[in-house]
Amino acid sequence: MKMHAAVSAVLLALLPARAAAAKVTPTQQVITMMNEMKTKGETMMDEGTKVYATYAEWADDETKRLGFEIQDGEKKIEELTAYISKAESDVEKLGREVEELNAEIDTLEGEKAKATETRKAEHEEYVKVSTDYSESVDALQRAIQVVKAQNYDRPQAEM
């Protein structure tokens, strides 16, 4: 808006000057041109100041935003570092527990193998005794049948 006013003022100043071209001296022309240059320079300086103010505000906002992001990032790094440390200690603890459980499993498997061998040996012994008892019972049953078939009195032996 200032620029339009300045240009209008310059044009208005030049109109009478052209009409009275004979009255305008070279010095007045130089002064008029310098005033125009001054007006343009001030306009450009105002625009530059506005651009710089906008840039400075943006830079300040970005600095604050990035500062907060850095703080948030540092907090996140601390949290993750703590989480990693805890996870590593948990891994060590659980690793020791796994080793203990593996040792216990090995012990129990050894005991199971011994118990299986013992049961197998006891079963073989049972089968022998059971067979012997079965044979004895069969022999007694046959003897009872023979004695029943010979159903008569016998004298008892003296001792």
DSSP alpha helices (H): ranges in the chain? Answer: 2-19, 26-149
How much is the pLDDT for 54? 96
The CA distance from 139 to 146, in Å, is 10
How much is the pLDDT for 144? 86
- Is the pLDDT score of 21 beyond 80? no
The CA distance from 28 to 44, in Å, is 24
Q: What is the mean pLDDT of residues 21-41?
A: 90
The residues, ordered by sequence, that sit 6+ positions from 40 with a Cβ below 8 Å of its Cβ are: 6
How much is the pLDDT for 145? 87
| pLDDT tens-digit map of 118-135 | 999 999 999 999 999 999
How much is the pLDDT for 15? 54
| pLDDT tens-digit map of 89-113 | 999 999 999 999 999 999 999 999 9
Q: Name the band, by pLDDT with cuts 50, 70 and 90, for residue 13.
A: low
| pLDDT tens-digit map of 35-93 | 999 999 999 999 999 999 999 999 999 999 999 999 999 999 999 999 999 999 999 99
The answer to whether the predicted template modeling score (pTM) of the entire model surpasses 0.75 is: no
The residues, ordered by sequence, that sit 6+ positions from 39 with a Cβ below 8 Å of its Cβ are: 3, 6, 10
Cα dihedral sign for 23, 25, 31, 37? positive
DSSP for residue 153: -
150 versus 114: which is more confidently predicted? 114
